[in-house]
Amino acid sequence: MIGGLFIYNHKGEVLISRVYRDDIGRNAVDAFRVNVIHARQQVRSPVTNIARTSFFHVKRSNIWLAAVTKQNVNAAMVFEFLYKMCDVMTAYFGKISEENIKNNFVLIYELLDEILDFGYPQNSETGALKTFITQQGIKGQTKEEQSQITSQVTGQIGWRREGIKYRRNELFLDVLESVNLLMSPQGQVLSAHVSGRVVMKSYLSGMPECKFGMNDKIVIDKQGKGGTTEDTGKSSGKQSIAIDDCTFHQCVRLSKFDSERSISFIPPDGEYELMRYRTTKDIILPFRVIPLVREVGRTKLEVKVVIKSNFKPSLLAQKIEVRIPTPLNTSGVQVICMKGKAKYKASENAIVWKIKRMAGMKESQISAEIELLPTNDKKKWARPPISMNFEVPFAPSGLKVRYLKVFESKLNYSDHDVIKWVRYIGRSGIYETRC
């Protein structure tokens, strides 16, 4: 199991050091600094073995978090724990920075004591932790409160406490998708997938039981079979989407999903990620990039890039940015674009073309002349792909929320009384076209 946990600043100074196991000595702290943080070479692996001691590290801005062990631990668990640790710290004091860590070191030690016991991760849900790890001390608790805390921390519903009350029962659902594309210069889709998340903000009283439904092909097909023929006609076709795989927040009853494919859960209070999913079929690619690069002699490049938007004309895409890489020996660039603003950024070796808004089924174009310095560098320019950023108000996977039902038997509010909001945002992930 995890033998120790260290947090360093960018210089390699220790900010937090907590040792859980006897086999980890103080010298481990230095070993990591010398061999990883101060190493001359770029990090080649997130797991390093130095003198039979294994170091797992993740970096958040310029802070290094390292877990140390001498045993054959579950590596996936250690990384998951480090991420969780970051989440918990962020939930408590915001951004993970040297200053924030120094300011909250007592709190961090307290947290580390709670969420990691003898190297075994314990309950690390912030919702539960915040009920008893506060910086005010927990003097004023009644006995009932204490036992409520402990049963929540260890209980089956560790992510929600009892007795939550809201005057207005409200929930927000965000379907956030990032669409990834790799396209060949000829316009052939080399790979495309959508990784999506359903993020929920719930402000519901009591211990509500929720049921979430979407246009999952398997569910729709199943229902279609059971229902009338009319239904089948309606539900098949473009209405449903094939989900390759999905994962759920630990509040979702997985065995129920496995057997019935229904998503039921008691949600944590506040914001959390209900599910993640991935689709690869029938993806709506919001933009198509058509590059044309021509080398004119050894000192000039002509680049023309056309982008086409491919969605309903009534919808508007926002924050569009096209990044056209330029060779390292670029000396000057002249750009002409029909829409938006384009600039050559020498520090980034790219022409950045920004368009604020663009409706569906439109087309825009940029042309640039790139002057090159003659070099005797034999190495050819690698021609990195043209990448794009954008945001669209629909889900490129085609996912639709069909319902989210709320049942709370003990309190007197029904599904109808809950105010529900649903929003779809499609963003570009790695959206690249080779040129």
Partner 1 sequence: MQEWANQLCENRQFGSKMTDSKYFTTTKKGEIFELKAELNSDKKEKKKEAVKKVIASMTVGKDVSALFPDVVNCMQTDNLELKKLVYLYLMNYAKSQPDMAIMAVNTFVKDCEDLNPLIRALAVRTMGCIRVDKITEYLCEPLRKCLKDEDPYVRKTAAVCVAKLHDINAQLVEDQGFLDTLKDLISDSNPMVVANAVAALSEIAESHPNSNLLDLNPQTINKLLTALNECTEWGQIFILDCLANYSPRDDRESQSICERVTPRLSHANSAVVLSAVKVLMKFMEMLPKDLDYYGTLLKKLAPPLVTLLSAEPELQYVALRNINLIVQRRPEILKHEMKVFFVKYNDPIYVKLEKLDIMIRLASQANIAQVLAELKEYATEVDVDFVRKAVRAIGRCAIKVEQSAERCVSTLLDLIQTKVNYVVQEAIVVIKDIFRKYPNKYESVIATLCEHLESLDEPEARAAMIWIVGEYAERIDNADELLESFLEGFHDESTQVQLQLLTAIVKLFLKKPTETQELVQQVLSLATQDSDNPDLRDRGYIYWRLLSTDPVAAKEVVLAEKPLISEETDLIEPTLLEELICHIGTLASVYHKPPSAFVEGSRGVQHKRLTSSAGSGESVESPDTGSAAVSEAPPTVIPSQGDLLGDLLNLDLTPPTSTGPPPAAAPGMQLGAMDLLGGGLDSLMGDESEPPPIPLRTDTPQSPQPPHQSPSPPDYSPTELGGDIGGSPAMGAGFGAPPAAMPASFNAPISGGLDDLFDLGGGGGMTMGTYIPPKTVWLPAMKAKGLEISGTFVRRSGVIQMEMTLNNKAMSVMSDFAIQFNRNSFGLAPAGPLQILTPISPNQSIEAALPLSTVGPVMKMEPLNNLQVAVKNNIDVFYFSCQYPISMLFLEDGKMERQVFLATWKDIPNENESQFQIKDCHLNSDAASNKLQGSNIFTIAKRTVEGQDMLYQSMKLTNGIWVLAELRVQAGNPNYT
143 counts as binding partner 1 under rule CB under 8 A: yes
Strands 263-265 and 330-337 come out as unpaired
The alpha carbons of the chain give a radius of gyration, in whole angstroms, of 26
Q: How many CB atoms lie within 10 A of CB 341?
A: 11
> Which listed range, 31-39, 72-80, 351-359, 368-376, lies at the site for partner 1 (CB under 8 A)?
72-80
Which of 26, 341 has the CB closer to partner 1? 26
DSSP state of 35: I
Stretch that binds partner 1, among 77-85, 200-208, 330-338, 400-408 (CB under 8 A): 77-85
Rounded to whole angstroms, the Cα distance separating 431 from 316 reads 18
Determine if residue 201 is labeled as part of a ligand binding site.
Answer: no
Query: Could you say which residues in the range 391-420 bind partner 1, by CB under 8 A?
Result: none
Q: Is 418 exposed, middle or buried (0-12, 13-18, 19+ CB in 10 A)?
A: buried
Q: Are 284 and 398 in contact (CB under 8 A)?
A: yes
Alpha carbons 64 and 6: distance in angstroms, whole number:
8
Is 343 annotated to bind ligand?
yes
Q: How many CB atoms lie within 10 A of CB 213?
A: 16
Region of 70-78, 350-358, 402-410, 416-424 interacting with partner 1 (CB under 8 A): 70-78
Under the binding rule (CB under 8 A), the answer on residue 11 touching partner 1 is no
225 labelled ligand-binding: no
- SS3 (DSSP) at 283: coil
By beta-carbon proximity to partner 1, the closer residue of 14 and 31 is: 14
Only segment of 117-125, 306-314, 339-347, 397-405 that touches partner 1 (CB under 8 A): 117-125
Cβ closest to partner 1, residue 176 vs residue 316: 176
In this chain, which stretch among 104-112, 162-170, 302-310, 334-342 interacts with partner 1, using CB under 8 A? 104-112
Tell whether residue 356 is among the known ligand binding residues: yes
- Of 56 and 353, the one with the shorter C-beta distance to partner 1 is 56
* Helix axes 105-115 and 75-93, enclosed angle (nearest 10): 140
Strand order through the sheet with 63-69: 14-19, 4-8, 63-69, 53-60, 47-50
Mind giving me the DSSP string for 112-139?
HHHHEETTEE----HHHHHHH--TT-ST
CA–CA distances in Å: residue 265 to residues 177, 202, 414? 22, 12, 16
Query: Site map for partner 1, 144-163, x if CB under 8 A?
Result: --xx-xxx-xxxx-x-----
Among 39, 62, 71, 357, binds partner 1 (CB under 8 A): 71
Applying CB under 8 A, which of residues 49, 331, 375, 414 lies at the interface with partner 1? 49
In the complex, what is the shortest distance from the CB of residue 85 to partner 1, in angstroms, rounded to a whole number? 12
Among 38, 62, 95, 138, binds partner 1 (CB under 8 A): 138
Stretch 227-246 residues interacting with partner 1 (CB under 8 A): 244-246
Q: Which of 65, 137, 64, 66 is nearest to 106 (CA)?
A: 137
What are the beta bridge partners of residue 263?
212
62 binds partner 1 (CB under 8 A): no
Taking the complex as a whole, how short is the minimal distance between the CB of residue 425 and partner 1, in angstroms? Answer: 18
- Residues between 277 and 336 with contacts to partner 1, criterion CB under 8 A: 278
Single out the residue of 249, 288, 304, 420 in contact with partner 1 (rule: CB under 8 A): 249
Contact between 225 and partner 1 per CB under 8 A: no
**What residues form the annotated binding site?**
341, 343, 345, 354, 356
